[in-house]
C-alpha cells in the first residue's frame, strides 16, 4: 500500500536531504492486510529507490517504508510529485493528456509543446498510452471525482468516452489548478491513480 505526502520544500531539497529528509512519522492506522486488519503503530522499515523523470529532476528518488509490527506488511510514503506506478512526473502526465485533447494537432502538438516547454522528451507511444488509459478509465475517474468534489456536475452518460474525458479534464483544471492536489486527493479517496487499471 502506498500513501502520498506533500513535500513543501520542493523536489531539489527532497533529493538533497535523502534519508535525512523529515519524512512523515510512523503512522498509527489500520493494517491493510485482511488477515491482520488491526490498528497498529507502524515502524520505520528502511527505504527503497524508484525512478522519476521530470523537467526538474531525472533519476532515482528515495521512498520511505514502514512496517506493521504484527504481520510484517509494509506501506510506502510517496512524495506528491510522483504518481504511484509511473516514472513520469504527475504534472507532466496530466499535461500530456490535457494538451492532447485541447491543443490543435492533438498528440503531435502536445509532444511538441511539452518538449519545448519543459525540455523533456516524450515518445508518441507514451503519450498515446496515457491518453488511452485515461479514456478507458473515464467512468472510474468520474466516480473518484464524485468523492472529492461535492455536487460536481459530470458529463452526460450518453456522451462517448472521448467527450466525457475532455469534459472531465476541464472540470479537474477548473477545480484543481494544482494538479498535485487533485492527484493526492483522488488517490486518498480511491487508493488508485487516475491512470490505474480499472479492475
| String of DSSP letters for 73-102 | -EEEEEETTSBTTBSB-HHHHHHHHHHHHH
What is the pTM assigned to this prediction? 0.83
pLDDT, tens only, 42-83: 999 999 999 999 888 999 999 999 999 999 999 999 999 999
Q: Is the same domain home to 65 and 95?
A: no
156 within some domain: yes
Domain containing 145: what range? 90-190
Beta-carbon count within 10 A of 172 CB: 22
Q: Is residue 195 part of a domain?
A: no
Rounded to a whole number, what is the distance in angstroms from the first to the last CA of the chain? 16
In a domain, 197, yes or no: no
Could you tell me if 172 and 182 are in contact, meaning their C-beta atoms sit under 8 angstroms apart?
A: yes
**How would residue 105 be classed by pLDDT, with cut points 50, 70 and 90?**
low
- Residue 18 makes CB contacts below 8 A (sequence gap 6+) with 62
Q: Is residue 181 part of a domain?
A: yes
Q: Are residues 181 and 132 in the same domain?
A: yes
Q: Which residue has the cell 533529493?
A: 15
- Mean pLDDT is highest, among 64-68, 83-87, 116-120, 185-189, for 64-68
Among the three residues 58, 79, 100, which one is the final residue of a domain in this structure? 79
Distances (CA, A) of 34 to 29, 38, 72, 76: 13, 9, 12, 18
Asked whether residue 121 is assigned to any structural domain, the reply reads yes
Indicate the range of 9-23, 80-94, 95-109, 140-154 predicted with least confidence: 95-109
| 145 and 56 in a common domain | no
pLDDT-derived band at 120 (thresholds 50, 70, 90) equals confident
Looking at residue 73, its pLDDT comes to 95
Domain membership flag for residue 196: no
Residues with Cβ within 8 Å of 59's Cβ and at least 6 positions away in sequence, in order, are 15, 51, 52
Amino acid at each position: 500500500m502506498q500513501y502520498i505526502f506533500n513535500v513543501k520544500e520542493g523536489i531539489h531539497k527532497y533529493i538533497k536531504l535523502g534519508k535525512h529528509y523529515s519524512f512523515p512519522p510512523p503512522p498509527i492506522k489500520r493494517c491493510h492486510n485482511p488477515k491482520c486488519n488491526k490498528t497498529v503503530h507502524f515502524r520505520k522499515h528502511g527505504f527503497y529507490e524508484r525512478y522519476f523523470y521530470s523537467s526538474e529532476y531525472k533519476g532515482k528518488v528515495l521512498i520511505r517504508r514502514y512496517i506493521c509490527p504484527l504481520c510484517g506488511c509494509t506501506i510506502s510514503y510517496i512524495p506528491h510529485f510522483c504518481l504511484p506506478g509511473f516514472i513520469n512526473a504527475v504534472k507532466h502526465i496530466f499535461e500530456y493528456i490535457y494538451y492532447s485533447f485541447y491543443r490543435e494537432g492533438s498528440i503531435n502538438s502536445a509532444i511538441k509543446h511539452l518538449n519545448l516547454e519543459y525540455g523533456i522528451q516524450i515518445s508518441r507511444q507514451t503519450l498515446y498510452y496515457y491518453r488511452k488509459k485515461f479514456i478507458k478509465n473515464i467512468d472510474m475517474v468520474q466516480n473518484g471525482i464524485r468523492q472529492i468534489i461535492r455536487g460536481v456536475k459530470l458529463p452526460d452518460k450518453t456522451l462517448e468516452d472521448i467527450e466525457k474525458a475532455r469534459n472531465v479534464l476541464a472540470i479537474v483544471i477548473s477545480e484543481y489548478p494544482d494538479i498535485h492536489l487533485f492527484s493526492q486527493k483522488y488517490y486518498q479517496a480511491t487508493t488508485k491513480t487516475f491512470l490505474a487499471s480499472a479492475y
